[in-house]
């Protein structure tokens, strides 16, 4: 995703991560074993730091405006095997081992619905 100038950047080992004007970066979460895309969430620098430190996925909840340790209440934590960064360094891909359903609906993945066919008008 290419956008306007990032406000701040973080240097990883050879990788500089770019946060947007709100200090956030998109994080795609993929099951490392099944390869299903489970969910898409947001991280700020603190969520990324906590994820790296603990090995468990942390996000930034935009609706609640607070750090969100995924699974802290449900028990469905996500062990993070690897974090990848895209070409523009403004999107992350987390490869995880989920302890349970990723979705608050109880579905294994948040992407449990499909447009019936490509000609459906949303």
Binding site for a copy of itself (CB under 8 A): 1-5, 7-17, 26, 28, 30, 34-37, 39-42, 45, 48-49, 51-53, 55, 61-63, 80, 82-88, 91, 93, 103-105, 107-116, 118-122
> What span, in angstroms and rounded, lies between the C-alpha atoms of 39 and 33?
15
Q: How many residues would you count in the chain?
A: 122
Question: 109: closest CA among 60, 26, 36?
Answer: 36
Rounded to 5 degrees, what are φ and ψ at 110? -70, -20
Q: Exposed, middle or buried by CB within 10 Å (0-12, 13-18, 19+), for 79?
A: middle
Token pair recorded at residue 69: 């340790």
């Amino acid at each position: 995703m290419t956008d306007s100038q990032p406000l701040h950047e973080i240097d990883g080992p050879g990788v500089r991560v770019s946060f947007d004007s709100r200090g956030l970066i998109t994080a795609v979460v993929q099951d490392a074993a099944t390869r299903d895309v489970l969910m898409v969430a947001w991280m700020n620098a603190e969520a990324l730091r906590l994820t790296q430190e603990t090995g468990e996925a942390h996000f930034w909840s935009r609706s609640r405006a607070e750090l969100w340790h995924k699974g802290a209440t449900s028990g469905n934590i996500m062990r993070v095997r690897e974090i990848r960064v895209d070409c523009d360094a403004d999107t992350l891909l987390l490869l995880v081992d989920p302890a349970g359903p990723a979705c608050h609906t109880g579905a294994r993945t948040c992407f449990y619905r499909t447009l019936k066919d490509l000609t459906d008008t949303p």
